[in-house]
Chain A
Amino acid sequence: MQAKTTILSLPTEEFVHPGTRACTGCGLAIAYRVGLKALGKNTILVVPPSCLTVLQGLFPVASTKLPCLNVTFASTAAAATGILATLKSQGKTNIQVAAWAGDGGTSDIGLQALSGAAERGENFIYLCYDNEGYMNTGVQRSGTTPIGAITANTPFKGKLQQKKDVPAIMAAHHLSYVATCSAAYPLDLYDKIVKCKDMPGTKYFHIHIPCPPGWGYDPRYGIKVGRLAVETGYYDLYEIVNGEFKLTAASEKLVEKRKLVPVREYFRAQSRFKILTDEQIADIQNQIDAKWAAYYKKDE
């Protein structure tokens, strides 16, 4: 087993420049920066339209030091496949292809290309950063926006439907590696990327990304909000290695502690959930408790 990376052992080389166009306190900026450290300098990125393209910048300056192919929304995984084919024809075997896409670009628009590539077993890492909405275009609902969240097109009652469980969809493709991560736990993200790099086929990451303007909180609380999502048991950190599910990092510790922070604290920290009633919150709390009761049982 690889040793856990600490702040002091995290590589100091940076692949992102300061002064990006991302919003103040953007959670993506943290996950992207640390994620690129893990991917390393021999990496080609593939990125569809999203806040990440904003962060990456406009011609003629790019904020990322790695080569990146910007592609159309639906084609991320297909374009990554194309790059792999090119590298193969050139006999280059030491280059990592990594697709970074938003939740809209993954759970809705890019899903079929991703499913196709995953089923074929294309050898790349796909990272979906989930800020739970189409944020770049002004906070519209996506397939992974959670129930009850106010967005530009669910302005009164919040979203009525459940969040789509994309990592579960990807796990159903029998991948060698599926992991959930959070911008609030960057070292966990780092270790998971390093761990899966040499595994075969498509590797899928789902990264929870606090977004100050989209979620409605003061930017300084970004990490706190991300952590609350995990500590309340609302968003779980896990990995599925060759079909084997295991909670990791802070979520694993929650099983030992047998104690969750009430989910109300997570909701009340963000204005997008302000219309959630006490009954609705109690309902969601029950669902979380049931989910964790199953985790506890597995642990016994």
Chain B
Amino acid sequence: MGTRNYKRKTSHSENGPGDGGRTGSWRVERPILDKSLCIPCKRNKEACFICWLFCPEIVISRTIPPKIDLEYCKGCGICAEECPTKAIIMVDEAEFSKEDKE
């Protein structure tokens, strides 16, 4: 008898990123940040971070400058839409396909 392998028998999951795979591959447009327009970058102090708050995928860091994790960013564009200074623009992924292959 002894101890049962409880975790395996109950299909216990471990937490971790990328449950949906590398969701960055879903993206059709890529967010690009222009630091010269971004408020915390300009002031060089913590401010704004609206993109961080609204990112559904938690791929924007709350740092100066905010960094976007393209491995998982699905390219929804909410950051670009909500940024008060339009510091993030969405660029067609096709523009990067050559670059990525290199």
Chain B binds chain A: yes
Asked if B2 lies at the interface with its beta carbon under 8 angstroms from chain A, I say no
The answer to whether B77 touches A20, judged by C-beta atoms less than 8 angstroms apart, is no
Interface residues of A in 16-75 (CB under 8 A from B): 16-22, 24-27, 29-30, 33-34, 56-65
Total A-B pairs, Cβ < 8 A: 115
The answer to whether B19 touches A24, judged by C-beta atoms less than 8 angstroms apart, is no
Distance in angstroms from B7 CB to nearest chain A CB is 10
**Complex-state Cα separation, A61 to B90, whole angstroms:** 30
The answer to whether A19 touches B71, judged by C-beta atoms less than 8 angstroms apart, is yes
Asked if A291 lies at the interface with its beta carbon under 8 angstroms from chain B, I say no
Given the known inter-chain contacts A7-B50, A14-B58, please indicate yes or no for A61 contacting B19, CB distance below 8 A.
Answer: yes
Contact of B74 among A10, A25, A65 (CB under 8 A): A25
Chain B interface size, under 10 / 10 to 19 / 20 to 34 / 35 or more:
35 or more
Contact of A21 among B20, B22, B75 (CB under 8 A): B20
Interface residues of B in 49-102 (CB under 8 A from A): 49-50, 52-59, 62, 69, 71-72, 74-78, 80-82, 90
Contact of B11 among A12, A22, A59 (CB under 8 A): A59
**Complex-state Cα separation, A30 to B17, whole angstroms:** 16
**Complex-state Cα separation, A59 to B15, whole angstroms:** 10
The answer to whether A17 touches B77, judged by C-beta atoms less than 8 angstroms apart, is no
Of A19, A27, A63, the most chain B CB neighbours within 10 A belong to A19
User: Contacts of A221 on B, CB cut-off 8 Å?
Assistant: 81
**Complex-state Cα separation, A7 to B78, whole angstroms:** 16
User: Contacts of B21 on A, CB cut-off 8 Å?
Assistant: 19
User: Contacts of B52 on A, CB cut-off 8 Å?
Assistant: 7
Chain B's closest residue to A219 (CB) is: B76
Interface residues of B in 17-39 (CB under 8 A from A): 17-23, 26
The answer to whether A30 touches B56, judged by C-beta atoms less than 8 angstroms apart, is yes
Contact of A17 among B15, B76, B90 (CB under 8 A): B15
Interface size on A, residues (CB 8 A): 40
Asked if A110 lies at the interface with its beta carbon under 8 angstroms from chain B, I say no
Distance in angstroms from B85 CB to nearest chain A CB is 15
Contact of B48 among A7, A24, A212 (CB under 8 A): A7
The answer to whether B53 touches A25, judged by C-beta atoms less than 8 angstroms apart, is no
The answer to whether B90 touches A20, judged by C-beta atoms less than 8 angstroms apart, is no
Given the known inter-chain contacts A17-B16, A19-B20, A57-B19, please indicate yes or no for A24 contacting B81, CB distance below 8 A.
Answer: no
Asked if A247 lies at the interface with its beta carbon under 8 angstroms from chain B, I say no
Q: Mark A185-226, 1 if CB is under 8 A from B, else 0.
A: 011000000000000000000000000100000111111100
The answer to whether B58 touches A223, judged by C-beta atoms less than 8 angstroms apart, is no
User: Contacts of A57 on B, CB cut-off 8 Å?
Assistant: 13, 19-20
**Complex-state Cα separation, A221 to B90, whole angstroms:** 13
Of A10, A21, A25, the most chain B CB neighbours within 10 A belong to A25
**Complex-state Cα separation, A65 to B16, whole angstroms:** 8
**Complex-state Cα separation, A21 to B57, whole angstroms:** 10
Asked if A294 lies at the interface with its beta carbon under 8 angstroms from chain B, I say no
Distance in angstroms from A267 CB to nearest chain B CB is 20
User: Contacts of B59 on A, CB cut-off 8 Å?
Assistant: 18
**Complex-state Cα separation, A19 to B24, whole angstroms:** 8
The answer to whether A62 touches B19, judged by C-beta atoms less than 8 angstroms apart, is yes
Q: List 5 A-B contacts (CB under 8 A).
A: A7-B50, A18-B17, A19-B57, A56-B19, A59-B11
For the complex of A and B, list the 4 residue pairs with the smallest distance between their C-beta atoms, beginning with the closest.
A220-B77, A25-B76, A57-B19, A29-B56
